[in-house]
Chains A and B, each alone.
Chain A
Amino acid sequence: MSLIRRHWLSVVAILVSFVVFVIPFIFIVLTAMKDKRQSALLDFSWPEKFQLWENIVDVITTRNWQLLTAFINSTILTVASVTLLVVFAAMVGFVLQRRRTRWNGLINFLILAGLMIPPAIVPTIWLLQAMGLFAKLHGLILIEVAYHLPFSILLYRAFIATIPKDLDEAAIIDGARPLDVFFRIIMPLLWPVTVTNIVVQSVTIFNDFTNPLYYLPGRGNETVQLTLYNFQSQFNTSYHLLFTNILLITIPPLIVFLFFNRQIVAGVTAGAVKG
């Protein structure tokens, strides 16, 4: 009796997370195994005919091995954008938090404006064209950095507020130059919030659909999310291939999570205690 009273909440939590996370994933896996006909029913059933391997081969070889190109593009895009984001956001957050000037108000306003005002597509494309960055991967990397920078800066600034200023002062007295203070003293202390940043932003950027769709046109420029449109159209959708594709592009982030699981959890909780 007391066992039930003590544990019922955990059981409910496990059940809820099972329904919310595991069942949809099982549905994806099952549908990815089916043939076209059974998958068109879109029901939760056991595949009559297993053809997961055929589906995988189909998906990868579609449109001249497009998925492989897409994986390379998406990896470059995610790694490069997140690296730049982390470095720049930490720098901005540090300076903004430590140095009080009369510009702070304006800078804060600009950061919030970046969060609140939706960017317009056509003028952005004109700007990119003028700079010769349109339909180039590094152009899109800059776009992703620009769109996601404000949120990262807010995370960093809040965290830096918890690091005592005495640390910087001690380092300066010991003869550290400004860049040393930042990269050798502050940056390592920011690890918890950096992990949060990396996780949140790489998931967003890896899953980004609309920005690559508009800013990175052209064959050979696809990112993984755009390959979904190979199997889904307005009037005719191949659900078995669509779900196989979803499965394939869900796996890399999943592996990353399994690998870094401990660090991510440690990072997030450390941030929570300090913050």
Chain B
Amino acid sequence: MTAKFTRTARVAVGIMAFTALSGSALAEDVFMTMLVSNNPSNVATAEAAVAAYMKANPNVTIEIETRPGGGEGDNIVKTRLATGVMNDVFQYNGGSLFQAINPQQNLLPLTDEPFMADIQESFKSVVTAGGEVFGIPNGPAMGGGILYNIPIYEELGLEVPKSWDEFMANNEKIKAAGKDAVIQTYGDTWTSQLFVLGDYFNVSAAEPDFAERYTAGEAKFADSPAAAKGFERLQEVFEGDYMNEDFGAAKFPEGVRKIAQGEGAHYPMLTFAIGAIKDTYPEHVDDVGFFAQPGDSTDSNGLTVWMPDATYIPKSTSNPEEAKKFVAFLASVEACKIRNEAVGATGPYLVKGCFPPSDVPPVVSDMLPYFEEEGRNGPALEFLSPVKGPALEQITVEVGSGIRNAADAAALYDQDVRKQAMQLGLPGWK
């Protein structure tokens, strides 16, 4: 009896000692994986940051796995979260797409982490659900507005427009000079939305409470003269015949080529396009400038801002503490410096103490003044309201191609949005 007991005890002690040993061994050698989207500059940044972190923490190994963007990427992220196999750290959009991955159930809250104090409030608002903050910014903010070709502006003696009328006057002169005034690339339908989405600063200047009333189902694009303007502007550009001949078939890379090489003068786009210009046409980086989409009056000229993707930790991670340490590093000033070195700056950072380097391309330096003054920038509607209709890009292609008129399009978009709002179960929609 006693002999048997001691033997069992010995075995038990042995097992306990073994697990204790292997337990401490695990704590020393940490292995984590990180899922990043496969955008080249994004992969380069992630690789540089991981290399620096692993050098500083030799016991940690982090592997980077890439995923496609767009709808395929949404599916991968949702599938992995649903099946509990999400990587220890992953990147995904903020705003309305973030709300769709059920953050309170799937993600680790980071609200009380010390590094959160350095993240700008404007960014926190797009990764907050149920009072908890879940992500840190992955890269700098982007502006949505109009890229312009500087040599064409110099050649024709044009000024950067501050109002929509000035913009159209410039277009007329550029057209008279025999150049394409506005580049449109409907082969990639998402590029068609910029005139509508980038106009949101002007909408909010005219109707400051538009986003709230819009979410509540009270404000509509069709009823609000300010909001309907976005569609009208797209129609005006089509009616003025300012667009490149192949606007229906051209794709985003061709738009980038046209604006960089001066085949066209204006390209409504997000400022991240500078990354593609730098990659493919490095000698033309200084030929492309940027201005916010002008509104009705020169007095209220401001920029519509897009927030970058965020980095999150899923609840399913086996190493929450180590993952948090790594995320803290990604949210540090050091990580911004690594990014500046790896891919250069594409816009202002959202972490306190982070600055783009002094020798930024004109697109970025043109964007900075909008951030220096209060009230000259505001987030895009998709970050203020969870409601964004899935068919907007198809509708804007129709308006931009002259198939549908602006008023009709605004009304159609309101119907499209209604389905989305009802799916989300928002109050006030039926």
> Known: A37-B280, A135-B85. Is A233-B40 also a contact (CB below 8 A)?
yes
Q: A83 interface residue, CB < 8 Å from B? A: no
Which of A37, A135, A214, A219 is B281 in contact with, Cβ under 8 Å?
A: A37
> B275: which A residues are within 8 A, CB to CB?
235-236
> A218: which B residues are within 8 A, CB to CB?
33, 65
Cβ contact within 8 Å between B83 and A237: no
Which of B33, B69, B257 is A41 in contact with, Cβ under 8 Å?
A: B257
Interface string of B35-62 (1 = CB under 8 A from A): 0011111000000000000000000000
* Chain A 137-168 residues near chain B, CB threshold 8 A: none
> A135: which B residues are within 8 A, CB to CB?
85
Smallest CB gap from B256: residue in A: A40
Cβ contact within 8 Å between B257 and A233: no
CB distance from B79 to the nearest CB of A (A): 6
Smallest CB gap from B35: residue in A: A217
> B84: which A residues are within 8 A, CB to CB?
129
Cβ contact within 8 Å between A237 and B253: yes
CB distance from A90 to the nearest CB of B (A): 34
A-B contact count (CB 8 A): 77
Cβ contact within 8 Å between B68 and A219: no
> B70: which A residues are within 8 A, CB to CB?
234
> B67: which A residues are within 8 A, CB to CB?
229
Which of B69, B85, B280 is A233 in contact with, Cβ under 8 Å?
A: B69
Which of A36, A42, A134, A237 is B85 in contact with, Cβ under 8 Å?
A: A134
Cβ contact within 8 Å between B252 and A219: no
Give Cα A122–Cα B78 distance, bound, in whole angstroms.
10
> Known: A40-B257, A235-B276. Is A125-B83 also a contact (CB below 8 A)?
yes
> Known: A218-B33, A229-B38, A230-B66. Is A121-B79 also a contact (CB below 8 A)?
yes
* Chain A 51-68 residues near chain B, CB threshold 8 A: 63
Interface string of B219-230 (1 = CB under 8 A from A): 000000000000
Cβ contact within 8 Å between B83 and A122: yes
Give Cα A121–Cα B76 distance, bound, in whole angstroms.
11
Cβ contact within 8 Å between A219 and B83: no
Q: A107 interface residue, CB < 8 Å from B? A: no
Q: How many chain B residues touch A (Cβ–Cβ < 8 Å)?
A: 34
Q: B64 interface residue, CB < 8 Å from A? A: yes
Smallest CB gap from A239: residue in B: B253
Cβ contact within 8 Å between B37 and A233: yes
Give Cα A232–Cα B67 distance, bound, in whole angstroms.
11
Q: B17 interface residue, CB < 8 Å from A? A: no
Smallest CB gap from B257: residue in A: A40
Q: A75 interface residue, CB < 8 Å from B? A: no
> A232: which B residues are within 8 A, CB to CB?
38, 68
> A217: which B residues are within 8 A, CB to CB?
65, 76, 80, 85
Give Cα A218–Cα B75 distance, bound, in whole angstroms.
16
* Chain A 195-241 residues near chain B, CB threshold 8 A: 213-214, 217-219, 229-230, 232-239
Q: B63 interface residue, CB < 8 Å from A? A: yes
CB distance from A202 to the nearest CB of B (A): 25
> B63: which A residues are within 8 A, CB to CB?
219
CB distance from A215 to the nearest CB of B (A): 10
Give Cα A16–Cα B84 distance, bound, in whole angstroms.
50
Q: B272 interface residue, CB < 8 Å from A? A: yes
Give Cα A63–Cα B47 distance, bound, in whole angstroms.
10
Cβ contact within 8 Å between A122 and B82: yes
A residues with a Cβ closer than 8 A to B are: 36-37, 40-42, 63, 121-122, 125-126, 129, 134-135, 213-214, 217-219, 229-230, 232-239
16 pairs, CB–CB < 8 Å, chain A vs chain B: A36-B279, A36-B280, A121-B79, A125-B85, A134-B85, A217-B80, A217-B85, A229-B67, A229-B68, A233-B40, A234-B39, A234-B69, A234-B73, A235-B39, A235-B275, A236-B39
B residues with a Cβ closer than 8 A to A are: 33, 37-41, 63-70, 72-73, 75-76, 79-80, 82-85, 252-253, 257, 272-273, 275-276, 279-281
Beyond A122-B79, A129-B83, A236-B279, 13 additional pairs, beta carbon < 8 A: A40-B257, A126-B83, A134-B85, A219-B63, A219-B65, A229-B68, A233-B68, A234-B39, A235-B252, A236-B41, A236-B276, A238-B40, A239-B253
Which A-B residue pairs are the 8 nearest by beta carbons?
Answer: A234-B69, A125-B83, A233-B39, A236-B276, A233-B38, A219-B63, A234-B70, A219-B65
